[in-house]
């Protein structure tokens, strides 16, 4: 295509192809009328252009995009100015999306394995064959009375897709739809649930906050919603008259700490102690919101239960155990700093303490969960729950219920079987324990069909190699990946889904509190023989026959979306045209009001009363863990007993690896450039800019404090081995002063052995070094409890 058009040629073309005139945008008309020029050259552009809205999916922010489609090709991505998360902005990942769409390593159609598992021998099949194979397998499982042996592991299922996939597996008869959240947001969600009674991430009103305390997690680079946080941060900084203050608490400074007003390099795994130390100062000085703690909270003071038994409350545990002098010993943060932070937090209201989406909290022991609870309690303590400039509760658009599931005894019995990941049983606090699926299968949990949607567990979980062993025990593995990633390599069927620019999918707007919806649509026709996973399961349902088919009366996933989105406030055509629809403006609820009780505090509680009281003393934890014996509690990683179990407190982290042999803590960091998703590692532009902060490109590196390196005799850029009890990797050391000396950082999303030509054999995967053991109570993956040693690698082998 694209032989250069001169204006003259263009005029000729326009004259002869009158039919396309209607599709021409204003600009082409312009060119035909002769343009004004600043230089002697003339502007030449495409013959036909469209701007089509969509939603990015290269990180979980869900930014609205506008794709510039010139002559049928996506040539540029812009942010959608109407989308409230990014307000027209777009990060480098979104900008690089054309490299995803036109990536030469994309899978071009459905394939069936013909050689040995993992031998990369495939044959093309048709979608009809794929549908038949999957329908047959699921029907066989149902006929054998074990539909629960079909398991779905999923990553990002945006909008209706999660409910749709859950519905499909429930209809088939499996409780096993397992989210990746135990690798990222589960600790923060559980922390909110166990206190505020809402199982979701809080939304933060950064725009009106005066003081922001960010605990870990790279707010501006790689949290759950980086672009949302950047937009809020930018407004807080310079979008209004009074500039808010941002304090980052993180062992590593990173870009977020560098851009903050203050960086507190805390000892890893001690966030709970710092938060409680601040609480101590706030309570001692009477700087807390006593209206909130007395009327809308539970367990702030000591209390007597229904049987007259006395219990310890938040106030007494904090006053007894967390005076700043002791907290300084635990956290390494000076007592004067703790007092000052507390004073600023209460004096600079509205103030927010932000929970990280991943990273520091996921440290393999209950410590992380108590840290999330303690941090969220700070918000409650100063009355920031549901106040302007404080913490909001995310609302979602109203969607109609799904039609009732058909009566089906096979499915009903399957749905009641214990889950494959052990959530709710082995892990009593967990909703999902993604990384534990491999262990459970290797221990004998029977799985006969595994479906991987946006899931690459072989690469993305600590010690992912055990998933390869687990796959050996599963006769039928299906991946929906658009690329031949590390997990798809071992699948029996690979059924590529279209990229986010080629499919229908809705997206909830998260992070601003108020409800909103955005829509992905095919901005160009799918480039390859791919099928939306929703459409695929609709066809499988139809092929399976009743009763499964009965539950899915839709012809296409687009129809499912139209059904579910009919009450969002706009019609389908408008949604397609604008790409986004919302009810802007968060409506804060009055404390104790009906909406407060129904929507803001306590609504999701399963065991504790839904009484609109914020739990400083977690009645939910008391119900789940309080009745256990001391031994059972200890087995879950609890060093404390009695009431302390239900109260936020500092639990020492148990590290994998002996300190004398493995002196460093390994911190696997997510970057703004490569982000959290495997496919992004195969975009050459993102590879090129991956190591901006240290001047690295196309590679991994290990960040180390120069003093620590000095003791080891290492200089900047020396080749090193990083070795944990679980594996070792060779990379180069980069000296970074803004880092605690006992911590080393390894960036995530390098070291792929598959995915594509640009991702493969480049750098190292830190996940292979991390402790594969799940946290025993909440089933969280362990990201920050692995010790490593670092030593010089031979220069000779230095490629």
Partner 1 sequence: MPRWVMVIDLDKCVGCQGCSIACRFENNTPVVKPSEALKGRAVRWNDVFPLPVNPTEETGDFPNVKTRYLTRPCMHCDNPPCIKVCPVQATFKNEEGIVEQNYARCIGCRFCTVACPYGVRYFNWHAPEWEGALQATPLLPAEYLNPDRIEGGGVLEGPAVRPKGVVEKCTFCLHRLQKARARAKAEGRDFRADEYVPACVQTCTGKARFFGDLDDPNSTVSLLAKSPRAFRLLEEVGTHPKVIYLREG
Per-residue x/- mask for partner 1, residues 516 to 555, rule CB under 8 A?
Answer: ----------------------------------------
Which residue, chain included where needed, has tokens 């230089």? 39
Q: Which of 9, 17, 20, 29 binds partner 1 (CB under 8 A)?
A: 29
* CB 230, CB 220: distance < 8 Å: yes
Instruction: For partner 1, give the closer residue by CB, 182 or 673.
Output: 673
Told to check if 231 binds partner 1 by CB under 8 A, we report: yes
Task: Single out the segment in contact with partner 1 by CB under 8 A; choices: 344-352, 450-458, 506-514, 737-745.
Answer: 737-745
Told to check if 340 binds partner 1 by CB under 8 A, we report: no
Q: Which of 11, 200, 685, 725 binds partner 1 (CB under 8 A)?
A: 685
* CB 473, CB 442: distance < 8 Å: yes
* CB 165, CB 537: distance < 8 Å: yes
Told to check if 35 binds partner 1 by CB under 8 A, we report: yes
* CB 183, CB 373: distance < 8 Å: no
Run of H or E including 379 = helix 367-381
Q: How far apart are CA 103 and CA 58, in angstroms?
A: 14
Told to check if 710 binds partner 1 by CB under 8 A, we report: no
Q: Within positions 83 to 122, which residues make up the interface with partner 1, using CB under 8 A? A: 86-92, 94-96, 98-99, 101-104
Told to check if 713 binds partner 1 by CB under 8 A, we report: no
Q: How far apart are CA 222 and CA 282, in angstroms?
A: 31
Q: Which of 50, 136, 234, 639 binds partner 1 (CB under 8 A)?
A: 234
Told to check if 634 binds partner 1 by CB under 8 A, we report: no
* Contact residues for 646 (Cβ-Cβ < 8 A; gap 6+): 299, 617, 618, 619, 621, 622, 625, 626
Per-residue x/- mask for partner 1, residues 242 to 271, rule CB under 8 A?
Answer: -x---------x-xx-xx-x-x-x------
Q: How far apart are CA 724 and CA 513, in angstroms?
A: 41
Told to check if 24 binds partner 1 by CB under 8 A, we report: no
Run of H or E including 449 = strand 449-453
Per-residue x/- mask for partner 1, residues 429 to 458, rule CB under 8 A?
Answer: ------------------------------
Told to check if 798 binds partner 1 by CB under 8 A, we report: no
Told to check if 15 binds partner 1 by CB under 8 A, we report: no
Q: Which of 594, 661, 707, 711 binds partner 1 (CB under 8 A)?
A: 707
Return the number of other C-beta atoms located less than 10 Å from residue 21's C-beta.
13
Task: Single out the segment in contact with partner 1 by CB under 8 A; choices: 321-329, 388-396, 539-547, 701-709.
Answer: 701-709
Name the residue among 598, 575, 599, 567 with its Cα closest to residue 586.
Answer: 599
Task: Single out the segment in contact with partner 1 by CB under 8 A; choices: 32-40, 309-317, 397-405, 445-453.
Answer: 32-40
Q: Which of 9, 12, 20, 76 binds partner 1 (CB under 8 A)?
A: 76
Q: How far apart are CA 358 and CA 592, in angstroms?
A: 32
Q: Which of 184, 387, 693, 771 binds partner 1 (CB under 8 A)?
A: 693
Q: How far apart are CA 517 and CA 143, in angstroms?
A: 40
Task: Single out the segment in contact with partner 1 by CB under 8 A; choices: 111-119, 164-172, 288-296, 731-739.
Answer: 731-739
Q: Output DSSP code: residue 610.
A: -
Nearest approach, Cβ of 46 to partner 1 (angstroms)? 4
Told to check if 591 binds partner 1 by CB under 8 A, we report: no
Q: Within positions 192 to 221, which residues make up the interface with partner 1, using CB under 8 A? A: 220-221
The DSSP annotation for 100-134 comes to: HHT-TTB--S-EEE-SSTTS--EEE--HHHHHHHH
Name the residue among 24, 124, 103, 99 with its Cα closest to residue 494.
Answer: 124
Instruction: For partner 1, give the closer residue by CB, 4 or 404.
Output: 4
* Contact residues for 320 (Cβ-Cβ < 8 A; gap 6+): none
Q: Which of 18, 19, 22, 39 binds partner 1 (CB under 8 A)?
A: 39
Name the residue among 68, 139, 128, 120 with its Cα closest to residue 98.
Answer: 68
Q: Which of 15, 21, 75, 425 binds partner 1 (CB under 8 A)?
A: 75
Q: Output DSSP code: residue 497.
A: P
* CB 450, CB 169: distance < 8 Å: no
CA distances to 26, 27, 48, 49 from 22, in Å: 10, 13, 10, 11
Instruction: For partner 1, give the closer residue by CB, 1 or 22.
Output: 1
Task: Single out the segment in contact with partner 1 by CB under 8 A; choices: 72-80, 474-482, 492-500, 635-643.
Answer: 72-80
Q: Output DSSP code: residue 67.
A: E
Nearest approach, Cβ of 104 to partner 1 (angstroms)? 3
Instruction: For partner 1, give the closer residue by CB, 26 or 286.
Output: 26
Nearest approach, Cβ of 682 to partner 1 (angstroms)? 10
| Total interface residues for partner 1 by CB under 8 A | 96
Burial (CB count <10 Å: 0-12, 13-18, 19+), residue 304? exposed
Q: Which of 24, 56, 57, 77 binds partner 1 (CB under 8 A)?
A: 77
């Amino acid at each position: 295509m694209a032989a250069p058009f001169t204006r003259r040629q263009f005029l000729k073309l326009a004259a002869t192809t009158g039919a396309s005139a209607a599709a021409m945008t204003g600009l082409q008309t312009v060119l035909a009328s002769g343009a004004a020029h600043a230089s002697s050259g003339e502007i030449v552009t495409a013959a036909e252009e469209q701007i089509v809205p969509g939603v990015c999916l290269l990180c979980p922010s869900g930014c609205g995009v506008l794709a510039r489609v010139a002559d049928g090709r996506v040539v540029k991505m812009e942010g959608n100015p109407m989308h409230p998360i990014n307000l027209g902005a777009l990060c480098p990942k979104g900008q690089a999306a054309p490299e995803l769409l036109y990536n030469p390593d994309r899978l071009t159609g459905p394939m069936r394995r013909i050689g040995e598992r993992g031998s990369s021998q495939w044959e093309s099949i048709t979608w009809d064959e794929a549908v038949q194979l999957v329908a047959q397998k699921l029907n066989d499982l149902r006929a054998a009375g074990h539909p629960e042996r079909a398991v779905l592991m999923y990553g990002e299922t945006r909008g209706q897709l999660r409910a749709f996939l859950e519905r499909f597996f429930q209809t088939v008869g499996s409780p096993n739809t397992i989210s990746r959240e135990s690798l990222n947001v589960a600790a923060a969600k559980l922390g909110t649930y166990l206190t505020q009674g809402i199982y979701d991430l809080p939304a933060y009103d950064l725009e009106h906050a005066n003081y922001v305390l960010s605990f870990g997690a790279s707010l501006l680079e790689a949290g759950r919603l980086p672009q949302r946080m950047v937009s809020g941060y930018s407004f807080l900084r310079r979008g209004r008259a009074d500039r808010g203050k941002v304090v980052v608490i993180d062992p590593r400074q990173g870009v977020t700490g560098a851009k903050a007003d203050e960086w507190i390099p805390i000892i890893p795994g001690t966030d709970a102690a710092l938060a409680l130390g601040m609480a101590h100062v706030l309570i001692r000085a009477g700087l807390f919101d006593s209206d909130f703690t007395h009327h809308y909270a539970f367990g702030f003071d000591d209390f007597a239960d229904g049987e007259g038994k006395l219990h310890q409350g938040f106030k007494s545990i904090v006053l007894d155990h967390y005076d700043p002098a002791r907290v300084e010993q635990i956290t390494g943060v000076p007592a004067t700093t703790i007092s000052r932070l507390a004073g600023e937090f209460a004096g600079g209201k509205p103030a927010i303490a932000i929970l990280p989406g991943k990273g520091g909290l996921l440290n393999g022991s209950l410590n992380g969960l108590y840290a999330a609870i303690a941090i969220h309690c700070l918000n409650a303590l100063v009355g920031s729950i549901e106040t302007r400039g404080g913490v909001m509760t995310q609302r979602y658009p109203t969607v109609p219920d799904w039609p009732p599931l058909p009566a089906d005894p096979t499915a009903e019995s399957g749905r009641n079987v214990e889950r494959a990941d052990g959530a709710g049983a082995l892990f009593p606090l967990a909703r999902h324990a993604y990384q534990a699926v491999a262990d459970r299968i290797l221990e004998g949990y029977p799985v006969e069909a595994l479906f991987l949607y946006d899931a690459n567990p072989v690469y993305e979980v600590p010690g992912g190699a055990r998933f390869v062993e687990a796959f050996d025990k599963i006769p039928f593995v299906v991946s929906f990946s658009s690329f031949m990633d590390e997990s798809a390599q071992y699948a029996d069927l690979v059924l590529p889904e279209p990229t986010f620019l080629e499919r229908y999918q809705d997206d909830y707007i998260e992070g601003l509190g108020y409800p909103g919806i955005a829509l992905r649509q095919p901005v160009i026709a799918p480039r390859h023989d791919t099928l939306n996973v929703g459409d695929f399961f609709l066809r499988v349902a139809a092929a399976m026959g009743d009763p499964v088919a009965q539950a899915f009366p839709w012809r296409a996933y687009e129809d499912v979306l139209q059904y579910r989105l009919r009450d969002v406030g706009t019609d389908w055509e408008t949604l397609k045209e604008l790409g986004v629809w919302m009810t802007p403006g968060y409506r804060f609820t009055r404390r104790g009001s009906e909406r407060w009780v129904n929507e803001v505090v306590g609504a999701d509680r399963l065991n504790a009363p839904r009484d609109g009281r914020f739990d400083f003393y977690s009645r939910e934890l008391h119900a789940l863990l309080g009745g256990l014996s001391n031994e059972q509690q200890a087995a879950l990683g609890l060093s404390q007993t009695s009431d302390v179990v239900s109260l936020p407190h500092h639990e020492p982290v148990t590290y994998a690896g002996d300190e004398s042999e493995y002196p460093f803590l390994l911190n696997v960091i997510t970057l703004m450039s490569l982000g959290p998703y495997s496919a992004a590692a195969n975009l050459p532009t993102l590879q090129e800019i991956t190591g901006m902060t240290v001047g690295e490109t196309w590679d991994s590196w290990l960040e180390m404090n120069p003093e620590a390196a000095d003791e080891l005799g290492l200089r900047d850029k020396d080749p090193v081995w990083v070795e944990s009890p679980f594996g070792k990797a060779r990379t180069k050391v980069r000296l970074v002063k803004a880092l605690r000396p006992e911590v080393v950082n390894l960036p995530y999303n390098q070291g792929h052995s598959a995915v594509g030509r640009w991702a493969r054999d480049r750098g190292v995967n830190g996940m292979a070094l991390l402790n594969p053991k799940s946290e025993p109570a909440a089933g969280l993956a362990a990201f920050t409890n692995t010790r490593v040693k670092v030593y010089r690698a031979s220069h000779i082998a230095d490629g």
